[in-house]
Amino acid sequence: MLDFFTIFSKGGLVLWCFQGVSDSCTGPVNALIRSVLLQERGGNNSFTHEALTLKYKLDNQFELVFVVGFQKILTLTYVDKLIDDVHRLFRDKYRTEIQQQSALSLLNGTFDFQNDFLRLLREAEESSKIRAPTTMKKFEDSEKAKKPVRSMIETRGEKPKEKAKNNKKNKGAKKEGSDGPLATSKAAPAEKSGLPVGPENGEELSKEEQIRRKREEFIQKHGRGMEKSSKSSKSDAPKEKGKKAPRVWALGGSANKEVLDYSTPTTNGAPEAAPPEDINLIRGTGPGRQLQDLDCSSSDDEGAAQNSTKPSATKTLGGMFGMLKGLVGSKSLTREDMESVLDKMRDHLIAKNVAADIAVQLCESVANKLEGKVMGTFSTVTSTVKQALQESLVQILQPQRRVDMLRDIMDAQRHQRPYVVTFCGVNGVGKSTNLAKISFWLLENGFSVLIAACDTFRAGAVEQLRTHTRRLSALHPPEKHGGRTMVQLFEKGYGKDAAGIAMEAIAFARNQGFDVVLVDTAGRMQDNAPLMTALAKLITVNTPDLVLFVGEALVGNEAVDQLVKFNRALADHSMAQTPRLIDGIVLTKFDTIDDKVGAAISMTYITSKPIVFVGTGQTYCDLRSLNAKAVVAALMKA
């Protein structure tokens, strides 16, 4: 039983609606528009909203959307046929009213489609009932029955893999053996080798037996000699013994005990400040107060831009998006027209580090968006598909909710409470390093920061944060801020409960007047259930304002697995009614991937969450905000 069926234009005008139940269809349809149609996620024609499953079909020629909704516990096999039949009949019946392309004509038009819809629904239900039951396949119809008995007999001492190879070779030999000259030429070596081929030596040997005997003779003749030669070559190699000279680096200095002693020097019981030249080196050269946009251009692009300034008589467009020779003209696009271009685009996206499943869904979404659309006279299929894919990628990188930390921190200040940010992610992605970069950015904007060391598992995690805190304090000493401590570390050592440490740190920040609390957590793999339970407990108990997932830009398909399982674990192990999931993404190691920026697309497509920060280096100023157009330009570059 259907809950509803509605037809509306892409401008938002509802043309016709069928209500199977009393509940309104406004909420599910609006959720479909917000989460799928506006976010360019049309790769799958189904969408789940609470207890309903929504299936939809786009008519790009007349700018219409057909949506059907039913309970997700039901398995209705006729829904796809019904939506196709309704689409075909409605378009043909009201073609004149729809082609006028004006909102006023659509509002004044009368679409009396109730009786036709009920007839199509009844036909679809009856066709699903009278479908013939599937009969079990007989043995005579299977492939195994077509095989000869000889191919199923295994000879003693022969491995199954070798037998399969021999069967393939035997088939090829039989095909070639159909010609007379080839058959006689191949039989000559067998006679020279003395193998019993003819009937005078008893029963005639099969092709498998001949090949096996030839292989055994070859191994007996040449195998021992090859083993001896390999052993002699190993023994002839000179074995140089002795100590290896230590390598001296240009800027490494002398590796003596005094240089390698990193114990904290003390002066009258207080630790010394770090040298100013080291601080300037670690700080970086960029402005720390305002985040710069991410620049994805490489040195190759700059060289190409300089060469392009020179006048050239001919311009050639290479790469995957080279111009096609044939123009489409004023006709509707079909799947066959776009198939070859979409295949090249999918391979190109995968080569740029986009997850394979997401690349397929993106190309499917573009195909659904363009199918049936009327092309211009001088437009090619490639340029049209490329433009649609670029628009979809830009839309994906600009998700529904934009995270503005500075505005949220000022709002928390008005309520006299600290703004809490929790960092989570797998091992080794750079959580602590990028936490220090964000701390420096907040200090440059005049906010005081308390760093909570909740990684009580990894050896050296607290010491790493202590080093960052000391250097940040040297960059922003209390003397520059009227005696106010701008950055401080809150730690309780190792082996403690991380959720309890975070709770104490938030209470300490509230009492001491800190503006922001940055909670560093231990790295954990997405499949580690105990650690994921501990992370869900930390987030549920302390209710942070922002949960940031730290992921590296080097991953491809792994990014999808990490984010899906992190969100699933946070939802499964949470004790709250509405579990808290990931709010944003920090993308690290972006300076190591050149133009393979596909991880940004994979992460935002899976979570629908924005990339808040991008890490591009090792200094405190190497923090950027995402530039969606620059990322898409690097992604589409051939």
- At residue 565 the predicted structure's pLDDT band, cuts being 50, 70 and 90, is confident
Percent of the chain with pLDDT over 90: 22
Q: Within its chain, how far is the Cα of 456 from the centroid?
A: 30
Give the whole-angstrom CA distance, residue 456 versus residue 436: 18
User: Do residues 323 and 316 touch, judged by C-beta distance below 8 A?
Assistant: no
Q: What band does 574 get if pLDDT is binned at 50, 70 and 90?
A: confident
For 221, counting Cβ atoms within 10 Å of its Cβ (0-12 exposed, 13-18 middle, 19+ buried), the class is: exposed
Residue 423 pLDDT exceeds 90: yes
pLDDT, average across residues 386-393: 88
Determine the pLDDT at residue 174.
Answer: 45
Q: Which residue has the higher pLDDT, 426 or 96?
A: 426
- Is residue 94 scored above 80 in pLDDT? yes
DSSP state of 403: -
Quickly tell me which residue has 């000022």 as its tokens.
410
Nearest to 625 by CA among 600, 606, 594, 598: 600
Average pLDDT on 258-281 reads 48
Other residues' Cβ atoms within 10 Å of the Cβ of residue 513: 13
| pLDDT score recorded for residue 307 | 45
Instruction: Give the whole-angstrom CA distance, residue 345 versus residue 350.
Output: 9
**Of all helices (H) and strands (E), which one includes residue 400?**
none
pLDDT of residue 158: 53
Greater confidence (220 vs 588) lies with: 588
In whole numbers, what is the pLDDT of the chain averaged over residues?
Answer: 77
Taking residues 399-404, report their average pLDDT: 78
For the record, the structure tokens of 425 come out as 């992610």
The whole-number pLDDT of residue 318 equals 46
**Residue 320 to residue 219: CA distance in whole angstroms:** 49
Q: Is pLDDT of 619 > 70?
A: yes
pLDDT at 632 over 60: yes
pLDDT in tens, 334-367: 888 888 999 999 999 999 888 888 899 889 888 8
Give residue 412's pLDDT. Answer: 93
Q: For residue 267, what pLDDT band results from cuts at 50, 70 and 90?
A: very low
pLDDT digits (tens, 9 = 90+) for 15-48: 889 888 877 788 888 888 888 887 777 667 888 8
Three-state secondary structure string covering 428-454: CCCHHHHHHHHHHHHHHCCCCEEEEEC
Q: What is the pLDDT of residue 550?
A: 93
231-245, 432-446, 520-534: segment of lowest average pLDDT: 231-245
* CA 546 remoteness from chain centre: 22
pLDDT in tens, 114-143: 888 999 988 888 887 766 566 677 777 777
- The closest of 80, 44, 87, 41 to 65, measured between CA atoms, is 87
Specify the pTM.
Answer: 0.65
DSSP string, 329-380: -S-B--HHHHHHHHHHHHHHHHHTT--HHHHHHHHHHHHHHHTTPBPPTT--
How confident is the model at residue 468, as a pLDDT?
93
305-319, 339-353, 373-387: least confidently modelled range? 305-319
Q: Which residue has the higher pLDDT, 22 or 405?
A: 405
What are the tokens at 8?
Answer: 């509306």
Give per-residue pLDDT as tens, 164-221: 445 544 545 444 444 444 444 444 444 444 444 444 444 556 777 888 888 888 777 7
DSSP code per residue over 454-496: ---SSTTHHHHHHHHHHHHHHHS-GGGGTT---EEEE---SSS
User: pLDDT value at position 175?
Assistant: 46
Model pLDDT, residue 282: 64
Q: How many whole angstroms separate alpha carbon 250 and alpha carbon 253?
A: 7
Checking if the pLDDT of 457 tops 80, the result is: yes
Instruction: Work out the average pLDDT over 522-542.
Output: 88
If you ran DSSP here, which 8-state letter would residue 553 be given?
Answer: T
pLDDT of 348: 92
